[in-house]
Amino acid sequence: MEYQPYIEVDPQRRGGKACIKGTRIAVADILDMLGDGMSFNEIIDDYPDLNSTKIRAALSYAAAQQRKGRAA
């Protein structure tokens, strides 16, 4: 999946962590929620700025960073 339309890294936001564009929701936050067993729907209920496409984009970004040998 193309994650670029949904992910941004802004040094002025969240210390330069990768976030969903237009939000302060970091990719790492989404990974933590999924790792804690939350479903996409539960995450979306808690964070209405998110949708399943944005969550998948966060996963794609994290996978790409992992392939490059960087932490998400």
Give the tens place of pLDDT for each residue, 9-52. Answer: 999 999 999 999 999 999 999 999 999 999 999 999 999 999 99
Query: 58: pLDDT confidence band, cut at 50, 70 and 90?
Result: very high
Tokens of 7: 């992910």
Domain at 31, CATH number:
1.10.10.10
SS3 48: coil
pTM of the model: 0.91
Domain residue limits at 40: 7-66
Task: Name the more confident of 50 and 72.
Answer: 50
SS3 25: coil
So what's the pLDDT on residue 63?
Answer: 96
Q: Count the domains in the chain.
A: 1
Are 47 and 39 spatial neighbours (Cβ–Cβ below 8 Å)? no
CA distances from 37 to 31, 40, 43, 57 (A): 10, 10, 10, 18
Domain membership of residue 53 (yes or no) is yes
